[in-house]
Amino acid sequence: MPNFQDPLDQTFHALADPTRRAIIARLVQGAASVSELAEPFDMALPSLMQHIKVLEQGGLLKSHKTGRVRTCRLDAARLGQAQDWLAEQRALWEGRLDRLDAYLKDMTAKEIPDDPQP
């Protein structure tokens, strides 16, 4: 498993897997035990625990163990950081594309016709 140092890298790595995104979607509804989280997936519990570990490292969930039951809950702070980064990137690219559009319109307006009139 890659060792990401930057928290944003850890978050996007955690979100890169569809199983982990499904776990996040379930936790939006509220806290759940690992057994409850495992129900929709056809995988062994140790495999699911690896996904839980990646989500914890990505700062997207927190878990605690009471007796034999490990309960997980969503920690949405990092999702907000990821959303902020995506919004910055979107604004940057929208600005670039707007400038490109204006440039192309300007170039089209200045085009010399292929068949100039005498």
**Domain edges within the chain:** 7-76
Q: Average of pLDDT values for 67-77? A: 94
pLDDT tens across 45-65, in order?
Answer: 999 999 999 999 999 999 999
**Identity of the amino acid at 10:** Q
Burial class (CB in 10 A: 0-12, 13-18, 19+), 40: exposed
For residues 15 and 25, the answer to whether their CB atoms sit within 8 Å is no
CATH code of the region 7-76? 1.10.10.10
